[in-house]
């Protein structure tokens, strides 16, 4: 009996205008969007490679002047990920590079700073299609599953026979779901074949596995909205009213709640700006440098007063060793003080940002669309895992530069004269050769991705089960 009712439900949807609209949207939107986004990724990859070549050429022609504490002596560029084809995530919002200066890590311009006005309208990617378009279509497929038959009078006729209510409702859910997901899967497969033909590395395990996970999560997300549509249909007797309620729910769940949660988070837990933190570090360095120069000046004055005379000449190793002996303990003390205080500033700022982001994420998870987005950007490596790994790599690179390069640079005038003189006499190693190259960006591991996504996967599963259970409980207790 269940199979017969499912077949009847499938034929009912296939012969409807809704199925034609679904089929057209699937065949047009999914393959076309994947193809366009893959071309964008290819262009971003070319820009990334050209930026690295240009930076290396400029460093050879004009070696960096590390005496300037604001000068960028090296850059860590952000490499685009091929999985951004499916979900752009934070890819455009992250800075294109991290510049290493003696005052700390300075962020380059983000991709959105050069975007056109079209960026205001949002990104059209696979995540947007599933999270926004298909969720609305799922509600349109189910808003009249029960209400429509009740309004037409066919529900009473069907249940007057020996037809269990649970079989009737399961046929509505399963039949409509099959009709919905088949065009979705076919169009997604066509899109994958299209971008693979263009050069997308779908055959790699680290690419194929996230794509499979993204497919399964999309099917679960669609099931959630199918269950929501059936719940609305069981609570209402009129199909038009059910349509209005379904659309209102979609507006709040998909458009308002995920965005409004972070607006509330900014009010509840405000933070400083990145530029304010950088300026705070600059002021700290200037204040500490002033104290350090005074101490070095006092030591130098004592040395001159206790000596019959000190000559400053290029290649005078005795004088340089004596100056270094006086200067280095003070500079090391300054460097440790600056590092400790900047670390505290960074920790406080990061704690503020994490708190605000955690509040926004927690509030946004009220809507299943937020959980889908978090899972998708984790699987495609365009979310928090990519962002955190990028900035952590930049901090490690800065620590490496601070130990091997910045620690040997002094701000006092006498030391600068000696360093310039040594560079003029020693031409065996250029200034660029002393700077270690940027480390490669580490990709998030599969275990980290699954750990970060476990909560959202469970939430989607909970939503699907809970709304389905509510629909059955209400339908069983309804008077037909």
Q: What is the pLDDT of residues 20-45, one digit of tens each?
A: 889 998 988 999 999 999 999 999 99
Which of these ranges, 82-91, 186-195, 283-292, has the smallest mean pLDDT? 283-292
Question: Is the CB of residue 215 less than 8 Å from the CB of residue 52?
Answer: no
Summarize the confidence of residues 134-152 as an average pLDDT. 89
Question: Is the CB of residue 457 less than 8 Å from the CB of residue 217?
Answer: yes
pLDDT at 50 over 70: yes
pLDDT at 417 over 60: no
The residue to which tokens 């998030």 are assigned: 444
Which of these ranges, 57-71, 258-272, 311-325, has the smallest mean pLDDT? 311-325
What are the residues facing 76 on neighbouring strands? 98
Q: How far is CA 78 from the centre of its chain?
A: 13
- At 314, the pLDDT band (50, 70, 90 cuts) reads very low
Summarize the confidence of residues 460-468 as an average pLDDT. 95
Helix (H) or strand (E) holding 245: helix 239-250
What are the residues facing 97 on neighbouring strands? 77
Q: How far is CA 270 from the centre of its chain?
A: 20
Q: Which of helix, strand or coil describes residue 154?
A: helix
CA distance readout (Å), 214 to 130, 186, 203, 365: 10, 15, 16, 18
pTM for the model stands at 0.83
pLDDT at 114 over 70: no
Rounded to 5 degrees, φ, ψ at 19 are -70, -40
Summarize the confidence of residues 340-361 as an average pLDDT. 88
User: Integer distance in angstroms from the first to the last C-alpha of the chain?
Assistant: 21
Q: Output the DSSP codes for 124-149.
A: -SHHHIIIIIIHHHHHHHHTTTTHHH
Helix (H) or strand (E) holding 75: strand 74-77
State the Cα–Cα distance between residues 424 and 340, nearest whole angstrom.
Answer: 34
Q: Which of helix, strand or coil describes residue 162?
A: coil
Q: Calculate the dihedral angle through the C-alpha atoms of 62, 67, 68, 71, rounding to the nearest 10 degrees.
A: 50
Q: How far is CA 259 from the centre of its chain?
A: 15
Which of these ranges, 235-239, 267-271, 314-318, 391-395, has the smallest mean pLDDT? 314-318
- The residue with greater pLDDT, 444 or 399, is 399
State the Cα–Cα distance between residues 192 and 35, nearest whole angstrom.
Answer: 9
State the Cα–Cα distance between residues 240 and 156, nearest whole angstrom.
Answer: 19
pLDDT at 372 over 60: yes
Q: What is the number of other CB atoms lying within 10 angstroms of the CB of residue 252? A: 13
Q: What is the pLDDT of residues 149-194, one digit of tens each?
A: 888 888 788 777 777 888 889 998 999 999 999 999 999 999 999 9
């Amino acid at each position: 009996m269940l199979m017969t009712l499912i077949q009847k439900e499938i034929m009912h949807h296939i012969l409807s205008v809704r199925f034609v609209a679904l089929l057209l949207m699937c065949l047009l939107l999914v393959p076309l969007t994947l193809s366009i986004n893959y071309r964008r990724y290819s262009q971003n990859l070319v820009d990334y490679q050209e930026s690295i070549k240009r930076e290396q050429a400029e460093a050879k022609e004009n070696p960096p002047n590390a005496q300037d504490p604001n000068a960028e002596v090296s850059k860590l560029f952000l490499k685009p990920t091929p999985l951004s084809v499916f979900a752009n995530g934070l890819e455009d919002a992250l800075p294109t590079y991290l510049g290493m200066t003696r005052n700390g890590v300075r962020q380059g311009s983000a991709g959105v700073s050069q975007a056109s006005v079209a960026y205001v309208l949002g990104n059209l990617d696979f995540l947007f299609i599933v999270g926004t378009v298909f969720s609305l279509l799922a509600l349109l497929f189910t808003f009249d599953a029960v209400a429509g038959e009740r309004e037409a009078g066919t529900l009473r006729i069907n249940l007057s026979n020996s037809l269990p209510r649970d079989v009737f409702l399961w046929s509505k859910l399963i039949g409509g779901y099959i009709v919905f997901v088949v065009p979705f899967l076919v169009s997604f497969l066509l899109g994958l074949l299209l971008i693979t033909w263009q050069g997308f590395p779908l055959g790699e395990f680290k690419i194929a596995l996230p794509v499979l996970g993204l497919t399964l999560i999309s099917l679960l997300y669609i099931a959630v909205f199918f269950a929501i549509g059936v719940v609305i249909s069981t609570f209402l007797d009129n199909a038009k009213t059910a349509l209005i309620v379904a659309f209102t729910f979609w507006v709040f769940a998909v458009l308002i709640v995920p965005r409004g949660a972070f607006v509330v988070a900014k009010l509840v837990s405000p933070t400083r700006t990145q530029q304010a933190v950088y300026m705070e570090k600059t002021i700290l360095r200037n204040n500490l440098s002033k104290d350090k120069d005074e101490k070095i000046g006092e030591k130098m004055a004592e040395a001159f007063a206790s000596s019959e005379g000190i000559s400053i000449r290029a290649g005078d190793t005795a004088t340089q060793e004596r100056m270094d002996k006086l200067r280095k303990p003070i500079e090391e003390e300054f460097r440790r003080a600056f590092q400790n205080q900047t670390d505290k500033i960074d920790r406080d700022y990061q704690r503020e940002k994490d708190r605000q982001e955690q509040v926004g994420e927690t509030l946004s998870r009220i809507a299943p669309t937020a959980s889908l987005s978090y899972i998708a950007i984790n699987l495609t490596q365009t979310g928090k895992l990519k962002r955190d790994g990028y900035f952590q790599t930049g901090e490690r690179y800065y620590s490496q530069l601070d130990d091997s390069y910045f620690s040997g640079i002094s701000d006092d005038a006498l030391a600068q004269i000696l360093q310039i003189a040594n560079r003029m006499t020693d031409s065996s190693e250029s200034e660029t050769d002393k700077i270690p190259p940027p480390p490669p960006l580490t990709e998030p591991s599969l275990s980290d991705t699954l750990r970060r996504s476990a909560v959202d996967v469970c939430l989607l599963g909970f939503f699907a089960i809970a709304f389905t259970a509510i629909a059955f409980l209400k339908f069983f207790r309804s008077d037909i």
